[in-house]
């Protein structure tokens, strides 16, 4: 495997992709039969586990409204201005956010955490919301070649087009 040229990050709104979800999940080291085991393994849907996760939620699910989305856009742009990476594609949806970032020497997991932290603070300032905005963790893929890079751009831009926003609707993409 060569050197990464970038990263595709996805952040899901809080409470929208719980452990046990029928789409599968990457939960924290859990197996129904033996309990804790090898971390970061995929798990298939489990309605009992999902119900248990829903019952433990202390805050409501988060679906970003327009004010929240604008706050996320502003926070992402501020982070970009302070960074050595650029954003090649982005889609900020009510339920999740996609970001395609160019390579950086910075730890991408810390960068993702920083983006989530800053956008959470911005949402809280914008609408006086006090709960979590994003699910724990993130989905992260390293991009190693131009084919994968171009496909990721098209995939993310389609999210924006399906919403009627145009392929590149954010100021930091212009």
Task: Report yes or no on 68 lying in a domain.
Answer: yes
CA distance 121 to 123: 5
CA distance 164 to 53: 34
The pLDDT tens digits of the residues spanning 2-55 come to 789 999 999 988 876 666 666 555 555 444 544 444 445 555 667 777 777 777
**Domain shared by 49 and 68, yes or no:** no
Going edge to edge, which strands form the sheet with 139-143?
87-92, 96-102, 6-12, 139-143
| Domain count along the chain | 2
Domain ranges, residue 119: 6-14+62-173
The pLDDT tens digits of the residues spanning 143-170 come to 999 999 999 999 999 999 999 999 999 9
Question: Taking 90 as the threshold, does the pLDDT of residue 73 lie above it?
Answer: yes
Whose CA is closest to 152, among 14, 6, 3, 1? 6
pLDDT at 38: 46
**Domain shared by 157 and 80, yes or no:** yes
Task: Report yes or no on 141 lying in a domain.
Answer: yes
pTM for the predicted model, two decimal places: 0.82
């Amino acid at each position: 495997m060569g050197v990464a040229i970038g990263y595709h990050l996805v952040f899901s709104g809080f409470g929208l992709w719980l452990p046990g979800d029928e789409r599968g999940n990457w939960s924290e080291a859990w197996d129904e039969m033996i309990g804790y085991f090898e971390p970061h393994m995929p798990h298939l849907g489990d309605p009992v586990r999902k119900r248990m996760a829903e019952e433990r939620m202390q805050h409501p699910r988060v679906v970003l409204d327009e004010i929240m989305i604008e706050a996320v856009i502003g926070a992402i742009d501020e982070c970009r201005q302070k960074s050595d990476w650029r954003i090649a594609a982005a889609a900020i949806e009510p339920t999740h956010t996609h970001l395609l970032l160019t390579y950086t020497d910075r730890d991408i997991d810390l960068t993702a955490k920083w983006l989530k932290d800053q956008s959470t603070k911005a949402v809280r300032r914008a609408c006086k919301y006090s709960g979590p905005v994003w699910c724990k963790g993130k989905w992260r893929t390293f991009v190693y070649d131009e084919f994968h890079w171009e496909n990721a751009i098209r995939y993310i831009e389609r999210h924006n087009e399906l919403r009627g926003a145009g392929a590149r609707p954010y100021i930091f993409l212009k």
